[in-house]
């Protein structure tokens, strides 16, 4: 390095160092954490970011929460209070700064924070950033930091009991600003966890770094004009109407610390590779990590962003509203620079739930209380949140709730967005979609079991029979097997034969059902453009190994059959096909399938017509280039797999072979 270059380098280093000292000295606090059950003796090593369940698992104090029925055995964890502690160093130079703050981007959820045994913060919102000035309690050198997490389940139960006989439907979870899916869902386990879910830091500074100017370089509009057929619902980006093809996105794990950048990449790429251009971040989860939105920005995937409310009404007290205001404005300011976000939506299904889910009767709600609930709801979602959003982001549209009309109402298919659950929950035929396609269908789906290699991972051999108790633990949907059997009996196999099926065949057939449904629903939606201008399947991903509506498997995010259906149906270079012929009515013959492996390619040939050809390989849970495809008589098809497999053991079967067994 010559003298001039060296001098320039030293000046740059000095300026950079001086600037960081002038603005802020920031130290991440992620090391040397320990935890214990509150008021017990022994401390154990903790991970930050993390949560109590993963820490207990890492300490070998609990079994794998996802295995067999361990979920039920671990419910005690949510009823305890948990304590975390570490120490951090503060220099004399830091103490000279005007401001010395602890910053928490993610405390889940009811947390009391102590520095040197002095209470400095009581947090009560998982989604807010908490900043607290700790100058008065700091000392030069070693400083103790301790956080006590109170049981969220105990707190919400206590708040609900205190309000009784006034009831906020449909769950005490409505009281807490915490990921709602932690309280259990019809695809997810109940692990009401707690912990430090984002890395905290210590900051010392004289002046705050100036806020970056907010720039959005595209014009985003949500068009909801009345027309002769009802009311439109579509997005215009830079003046051009865009047909949205996508899926609903839920948190990718029951334990958020397990969602690494690598996991985010797998998941968002699974959307991109399936020809999607939109993901709806569902309102019962979390405001996602910046990296998720970075990937959506990169891959041109538009994001419909719900605020974190799902299927409940809300408390109306001032403290709750003030808490939500700070949450909303913090999150919108944090995320608004992402061009991928095209919509802020108040909540998931709360409006239609209040009007159509029978809460008044099931919770014995008086007329007076009903009026109060609706008043609090409209004040938050119609008046307050849109105003709070506009103060920090006046460039994107806001929608109060998705949807406004229940699927049983005629307006569901003529006005606004629709969650069309007549298929599945209403047990309607798949053909119903031909007459019941809405203007923008933001939820719909069909349930299937996970891939069989996933089932093998969360079960023991004695569990692997149809309707086993362990299998039911991993199928949360109400009357799930009953509904799935009903569809299988109508479309694939005589009802009398279903109970005789082995689990592997049943899992395969459920995925064929999923494929058939999604192919025909998406094909019908797209054929009805521009009346219909969006189709978002429920759902892209799972948060644990489970039978669900997801088109990908929790296990390594491997595609399920429906992912391949979506990938084909969302192509823009061809018109998507529909075929409503019931597979059970096909006159199938033995296709006499043969195959050959060469490197990472498998070439498959059928002598007769083959339906839903499925390829699996022992020990492989990655992605095939295609699967669950049809082969015409004499047709040859080559598909590929990823990675290196020594001595691959291939299994190939089709609909004929599975049905013939019964």
Mean pLDDT, range 486-504, rounded to an integer: 97
Residue 241: predicted pLDDT: 98
Longest dimension (CA), the chain: 87
Residues 6+ apart with CB under 8 A from 541: 249, 250, 252, 267, 270, 550, 552, 554, 557
Of 320-324, 443-447, 477-481, 640-644, where does mean pLDDT reach its minimum? 640-644
Please determine, for residue 527, whether its predicted confidence score (pLDDT) is greater than 90. yes
Residue 24: predicted pLDDT: 75
Distance of CA 229 to the CA centre of its chain: 33
Mean pLDDT, range 306-316, rounded to an integer: 98
Please determine, for residue 21, whether its predicted confidence score (pLDDT) is greater than 90. no
Please determine, for residue 557, whether its predicted confidence score (pLDDT) is greater than 80. yes
Cβ–Cβ < 8 Å for 293, 338: yes
Residues 6+ apart with CB under 8 A from 136: none
Residue 23: predicted pLDDT: 56
Neighbouring C-alpha atoms within 13 Å toward the C-beta of 536: 28
Q: How far apart are CA 304 and CA 249, in angstroms?
A: 10
Six-digit token string for 500: 């005789």
Mean pLDDT, range 273-278, rounded to an integer: 98
Q: What is the dihedral of CA 389, 394, 400, 403, to 10 degrees?
A: -130
The fold for domain 244-570 equals: TIM Barrel (3.20.20)
For the domain spanning 25-205, the CATH number is 2.60.120.260
The CB density around residue 431, as the number of other CB atoms within 10 Å, is: 14
For the chain, the domains span 25-205, 244-570, 585-660
Of 10-14, 154-158, 262-266, 306-310, where does mean pLDDT reach its minimum? 10-14
Cβ–Cβ < 8 Å for 520, 238: no
Residue 428: predicted pLDDT: 98
Residue 150: closest CA among 83, 204, 203, 216? 83
Residue 213: predicted pLDDT: 86
The CB density around residue 109, as the number of other CB atoms within 10 Å, is: 27
Q: How far apart are CA 452 and CA 437, in angstroms?
A: 33
pLDDT single digits (tens) 560-605: 999 999 999 999 999 999 999 999 999 999 999 999 999 999 999 9
First to last CA, the chain: 78
Cβ–Cβ < 8 Å for 207, 97: no
Q: What is the pTM of this model?
A: 0.94
Q: How far apart are CA 531 and CA 408, in angstroms?
A: 19
Cβ–Cβ < 8 Å for 81, 149: yes
Mean pLDDT, range 635-639, rounded to an integer: 96
Give percent of the chain above pLDDT 90.
Answer: 94
Residue 101: closest CA among 23, 178, 33, 35? 23
Please determine, for residue 221, whether its predicted confidence score (pLDDT) is greater than 90. yes
Please determine, for residue 647, whether its predicted confidence score (pLDDT) is greater than 90. no
Cβ–Cβ < 8 Å for 22, 206: yes
Residue 402 has what DSSP assignment? B
Cα angle at 512 between 509 and 516, to 5 degrees?
A: 145
246 φ, ψ (degrees, to nearest 5)? -170, -150
Of 74-78, 158-162, 295-299, 615-619, where does mean pLDDT reach its minimum? 615-619
Q: How far apart are CA 149 and CA 112, in angstroms?
A: 7
Mean pLDDT, range 89-105, rounded to an integer: 96
Beta pairing, strands 34-37 & 44-45: antiparallel
If pLDDT is split at 50, 70 and 90, which confidence band does 12 have? very low
Please determine, for residue 638, whether its predicted confidence score (pLDDT) is greater than 90. yes
Please determine, for residue 277, whether its predicted confidence score (pLDDT) is greater than 80. yes
The pLDDT mean for the chain works out to 95
C-alpha distances out from residue 274 to 251, 278, 568, Å:
19, 11, 8
Give percent of the chain above pLDDT 70.
Answer: 97
pLDDT single digits (tens) 107-132: 999 999 999 999 999 999 999 999 99
pLDDT single digits (tens) 428-470: 999 999 999 999 999 999 999 999 999 999 999 999 999 999 9
Q: How far apart are CA 535 and CA 135, in angstroms?
A: 53
Residue 502: predicted pLDDT: 97
What superfamily does domain 585-660 belong to in CATH?
Immunoglobulins (2.60.40.10)
Please determine, for residue 6, whether its predicted confidence score (pLDDT) is greater than 50. no
């Amino acid at each position: 390095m010559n003298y001039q270059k060296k001098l320039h380098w030293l000046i740059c280093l000095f300026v950079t160092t001086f600037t960081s000292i002038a603005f802020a000295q920031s130290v991440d606090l992620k090391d040397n954490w320990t935890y214990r059950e509150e008021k017990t003796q022994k401390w154990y090593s903790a991970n930050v970011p993390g949560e109590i369940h993963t820490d207990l698992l890492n300490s070998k104090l609990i079994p794998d929460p996802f295995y067999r029925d361990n979920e039920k055995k671990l419910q005690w964890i949510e009823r305890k209070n948990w304590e975390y502690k570490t120490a951090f160093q503060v220099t004399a130079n830091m103490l000279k700064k005007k401001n010395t703050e602890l910053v928490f981007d993610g405390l889940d959820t009811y947390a009391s924070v102590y520095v040197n045994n002095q209470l400095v913060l009581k947090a009560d919102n998982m989604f807010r950033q908490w900043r607290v000035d700790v100058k008065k309690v700091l000392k030069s050198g070693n400083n103790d930091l301790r956080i006590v997490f109170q049981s969220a389940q105990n707190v919400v139960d206590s708040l609900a009991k205190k309000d009784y006989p006034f009831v906020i439907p449909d769950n005490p979870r409505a009281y807490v600003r915490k990921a709602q899916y932690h309280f259990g869902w019809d695809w997810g386990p109940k692990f009401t966890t707690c912990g430090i879910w984002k890395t905290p830091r210590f900051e010392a500074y004289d002046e705050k770094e100036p806020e970056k100017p907010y720039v959005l370089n595209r014009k985003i509009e949500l068009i909801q004009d009345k027309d002769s057929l009802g009311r439109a619902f579509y997005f215009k980006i830079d003046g051009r109407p865009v047909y949205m093809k996508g899926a609903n996105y839920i948190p990718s794990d029951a334990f958020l610390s397990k969602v690494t950048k690598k996991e985010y990449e797998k998941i968002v790429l699974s959307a991109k590779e399936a020809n999607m251009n939109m993901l709806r971040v569902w309102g019962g989860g979390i405001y996602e990590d910046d990296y998720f939105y970075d990937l959506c920005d990169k891959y041109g995937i538009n994001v419909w962003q719900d605020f974190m409310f799902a299927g409940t009404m809300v408390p109306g007290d001032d403290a709750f509203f003030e808490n939500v205001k700070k949450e909303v404005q913090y999150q919108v300011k944090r995320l608004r620079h992402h061009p991928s976000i095209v919509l802020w939506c108040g909540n998931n299904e709360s409006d239609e739930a209040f009007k159509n889910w029978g809460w008044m009767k099931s919770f014995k709600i008086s007329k007076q209380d009903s009026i109060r609930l609706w008043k609090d709801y409209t004040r938050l979602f119609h008046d307050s949140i849109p105003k709070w959003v506009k103060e920090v982001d006046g460039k994107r549209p806001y929608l109060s709730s998705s949807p406004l009309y229940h699927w049983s109402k005629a307006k569901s298919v003529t006005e606004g967005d629709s969650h069309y659950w007549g298929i599945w929950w209403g047990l309607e035929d798949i053909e119903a979609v031909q007459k019941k396609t809405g203007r923008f269908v933001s939820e719909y789906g069909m349930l299937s079991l996970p891939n069989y290699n996933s089932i093998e991972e969360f079960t023991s051999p004695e569990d692997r029979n149809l309707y086993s108790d362990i299998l039911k633990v991993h199928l949360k949907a109400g009357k799930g097997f009953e509904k799935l059997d009903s569809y299988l009996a109508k479309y694939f196999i005589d009802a009398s034969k279903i109970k005789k099926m082995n689990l592997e065949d049943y899992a395969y057939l459920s995925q064929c059902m999923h494929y058939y449904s999604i192919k025909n629903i998406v094909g019908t939606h797209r054929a009805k453009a521009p009346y219909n201008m969006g189709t978002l399947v429920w759902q892209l991903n799972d948060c644990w190994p489970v039978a669900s509506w997801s088109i990908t498997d929790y296990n390594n995010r491997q595609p399920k059959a429906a992912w391949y259906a979506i990938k084909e149906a969302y192509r823009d270079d061809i018109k998507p096909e529909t075929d409503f012929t019931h597979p059970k009515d096909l006159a199938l013959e033995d296709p006499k399938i043969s195959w050959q492996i060469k490197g990472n390619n498998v070439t498959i040939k059928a002598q007769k017509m083959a339906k839903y050809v499925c390829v699996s390989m022992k020990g492989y849970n990655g992605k095939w280039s295609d699967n669950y495809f049809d082969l015409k008589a004499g047709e040859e098809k080559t598909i590929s797999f990823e990675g290196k497999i020594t001595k691959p053991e291939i299994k190939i079967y089709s609909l004929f072979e599975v049905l013939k067994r019964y």
